[in-house]
Chains A and B, each alone.
Chain A
Amino acid sequence: MGGARLSLVGAIAPKRRALMVPLTADGMVPGAPPYEALVRPLRSEMLAVFGLTMPFGVLSERAIMLHPEIIRVGRGAPERLSEREARARIRAWMDTEGPTFERIVLLSYGPMMPVWSRAVQGSAAAPKVKLVQVHRRGGLGDTVLARKLKRAVQE
């Protein structure tokens, strides 16, 4: 996982913003170039980065980097059961950790979006979520996307 570094100060300072990145098979994992190209410019002491995973829902970036094996062993479970578990775990995260953030920025793309939507509907922290859409044409490497993401995270 070259390129991604764990910050000790970052681990203990209070965060105000959360960034949710759906982790899919197209290189969007901590340390991989497409992921780092998007996330690295946004890193700060005030930002906590999380991955959206199937079936385990919201995992901190730190946990994913320390335990990449949990992502691999989670794959292969039946889709219906995976989605159900992901929904419940996303909702549990929203209800426990969601209220601790001022804003939760969700990079909106990929097959987990319906799972996310069903999970957060009705959650008290749902109004804190700001979606940043990934458009099919530009994709994850779009500079417009990078600007929108920066604005959503830093404003």
Chain B
Amino acid sequence: MFPQAPVSIGKLATATLREVSRGREGVVGRFTLEPEDHREFVDRIGALRAVIGTRYAPLPGTWASFVVPADRDDIDLLVGLDRTYGKALADAHRELRTGAKSVVPALTVRGLALGFLKRVGV
């Protein structure tokens, strides 16, 4: 469903899939963020404080959120796919025989993260 290999989020960090959870509303991938430069990351990511936990949803059926996990001093990236659209997207990849390994590929994970960061001025 989500890319297994690390995804670069511009020059800021690398996102690595930690877990996938499925529920009635859809499926969510949780990515840990490994900074490229820890000091720069801390400086820039401070601007996210106001939007922590909120959803960024510019694409149909797909959303992203930056969250602070309860058990770690980190910021995680969540990428979610709504149930109906997620099924349609998975079916589309199958019917079109795209050969894609992920229903939500790295470029979408990266695009959502970078888009959200741009939106909040990071």
Closest to A87 in B: B96
Interchain CB contact under 8 A, B58 and A67: yes
- Interface presence of B111 (CB below 8 A): yes
- Check B105–A85 contact: CB distance below 8 A: yes
Q: Do A73 and B114 touch across chains, with their CB atoms under 8 A apart? A: yes
- CB atoms of A92 and B89 under 8 A apart: yes
The answer to whether A88 touches B58, judged by C-beta atoms less than 8 angstroms apart, is no
Q: Mark B105-122, 1 if CB is under 8 A from A, else 0.
A: 101101110110011000
Instruction: Evaluate contact between A81 and B107: CB separation under 8 angstroms.
Output: yes
Q: How far apart sit A89 and B89, CA to CA, in the bound complex (Å)?
A: 6
Q: Is B100 within 8 A of A88, CB to CB?
A: yes
CB-based A-B contact count at 8 angstroms: 86
**Bound: A87/B100 CA distance, A:** 11
Task: Check A91 for interface membership: any CB of B closer than 8 A.
Answer: yes
Question: Does A91 contact B108, Cβ atoms closer than 8 Å?
Answer: no
**Best-buried of A59, A91, A97 by chain B (most CB within 10 Å):** A91
> Which residues of B in the span 21-78 have a Cβ within 8 Å of any Cβ on A?
58-61
How big is the B interface, by class? 20 to 34
**With A87-B96, A118-B96 as contacts: A73 and B118 at CB distance below 8 Å:** yes
Compute how far the CA of A119 lies from the CA of B95 in the bound complex, rounded to whole angstroms.
10
Taking a contact as CB atoms under 8 Å apart, the answer to whether B115 and A73 are in contact is yes
Known: A55-B107, A81-B107, A85-B107. A96 touches B84 (CB 8 A): yes
Would you call A89 and B92 a contact (CB within 8 A)?
yes
Q: Indicate if B91 sits at the interface (CB-CB under 8 A).
A: yes
Q: Are B95's CB and A122's CB within 8 A?
A: yes
Q: A91-B96, A92-B89 are in contact. Are A85 and B118 (CB under 8 A)?
A: no
Listed A/B pairs (6) with beta-carbon separation below 8 Å = A63-B58, A69-B115, A69-B118, A73-B114, A84-B105, A122-B95
Binding site for A on B (CB under 8 A): 58-61, 84-85, 88-89, 91-93, 95-96, 98-100, 105, 107-108, 110-112, 114-115, 118-119
- Please give 12 more A-B residue pairs, beta carbons under 8 A apart, in addition to A63-B59, A69-B119, A70-B58: A59-B59, A67-B115, A69-B58, A73-B110, A73-B115, A74-B107, A74-B111, A77-B111, A88-B93, A92-B88, A95-B92, A96-B85
